[in-house]
Structure 1
Amino acid sequence: MDWKSPATDPASSTSQANVFNGSDEAISESQLTSFTAELSRQTGLAFSNYDSLHAFSVRDYRAFWKCFVNWLPGFEIIEGTTAICVGDECESAYFFPDLQLNYADKLLDLSVASAGEPAVTACFADGTRWALTRGELRDRVARLAQALSDLGIVKGDCVVAVMRNDAMAVIAALSVAAIGATLATSSPEMGSPALLERFSQLSPRLLIAHTTTRSFDNGVPLTNKITELAANLPTLVNIINLDDACPPLDTHLPCFSARALMERVVPARIVWTRVCNSGGLFHGSCLTGFMG
């Protein structure tokens, strides 16, 4: 299979040269080559280059994506029970509406990449770094997810978070996904009125937040914002603090340290809750910042 671009014709307005061409060995061992071979086996068609593969994905997209999902480790489409795509219009078509999976479990699947592979490196303003391997990240996510479950957070509950862009934010977000709850986030720089407007419509049961003031913070102290949020979100039952130092909050709600919660639970107890693809784990605003 020829995945390399031919020399481009400068006179052609549509020709494009690859910025990089991998070695023949790298191409033959790539996931794309593996998937294309499986697609060829299932369809009986030959895909000699990118153009032929892309043309098939457009022409017969249901067969293409069915093969892709079945090719992925840990996925299986059961004939007659899993819809590939509902609708034929680009604006309204929905792929795999009844396929169930656990986002965090699949993202941190150690059969895809080993536990020792790097996952997250958090870089702080003072120059320090905190690096986590995939195994370490999965362990921390499982621990916090079990702690959330022990606090009564269940599939379908809404969790809101005011988080900085660091590794604890990643752990928190994935732990919420691990138990099938939904997450909406905002940055600490937002003012209290904007935070309340964003979160009050969601009826959240849990607030996760960084609360320690940093040297680069401006305006209203973060503890004041979190306290005001807690006082004006009547459905909240608990608060989890992501910082090592937990400044006291003027609230009647129970406040827990995320690190303390992770230390006291057994990660093997966690049940990675599968949710239907037609649901939603992340509200739109959560893509701002750490998930961007």
Structure 2
Amino acid sequence: MQTGRSTRGLRVKNAAIGWSFVTLAAVMICLFYFYPMIQAFIMSLQSGMGTNLAFVGLDNYARLLKDPVFLTTLKNTVIYLIIQVPIMIILALFISVLLNDKALKFKGFFRTAIFLPCVTSLVAYSVTFKYLFGQDGIVNIMLMKLALISEPVQWLTDPFWAKITIIAAITWRWTGYNMIFYLSALQNVDQSIYEAAKIDGASPIQTFFKITVPMLKPIILFTSITSTIGTLQLFDEVMNITAGGPGNATMTISQYIYNLSFKYTPDFGYAATVSYAIVILIVIFSIIQFKVAGDKNA
């Protein structure tokens, strides 16, 4: 009987200790994550100038579908997403396979060099790209010296080339970040699998598509979702390279939220509504990616 009481007392003590650690973290998460999310949703149901807001229900969400600027930023953001993310994922996967080759020399140098862009300042690298792709920038100078173009390309003032510049910038920065995930996963793959495939006569291409890609499927899904989220929230590059121009040709949803809050006449309620549009897009694209990957829990 005494043993049973001491056991229960020990369980209660352990539970109390455990909850003392968990409670603080749970309170902080609720305070700094869930509370702002709820407040933002409530604000999205309001409208008005500055902080003088009035409840308007779902009018802001109906306004989204008729807002030409929002529809333009939505189109731009989706274009970045469907073009840049696949290119970046494929490039990161290809580079990680090359850098995982045991015969490759100076692997540490190449890994560091490719990963380095993602730790540089967002503003600094964006401004650097702005000067590189300027009308008199080094990119145009090199292309003209190589006789690939006869006159400077309007990288920042032409709607098409401005989008290409943004895509090039974010691909340069984030490819190394995704490469690290693939490289870490590849280093944990049993090499005997590749040796067996080689003995069976499998070519490098067959090995890549039949062994490497299936084994990296969870990591590919993870990087695809995180890259999708990052692209839907794209702001710094567009703001610092093209400022959303020419016109609104490169403006993203996040930049539109910034403009609604701080550049135009402040309408925090409608800005919160646009913010929730990003949340909805993230959920939709994440579900699609889970379904395409064949995740049964999606």
**Fold shared per TM-score above 0.5:** no
Q: TM-score range, shorter-chain basis?
A: under 0.3
Larger Rg: 2
Q: Which has the higher helix share?
A: 2
TM-score (norm 1): 0.23
Q: Which has the higher strand share?
A: 1
TM-score (norm 2): 0.22
Greater length-normalized contact order (CA 8 Å, ≥ 6 residues apart): 2
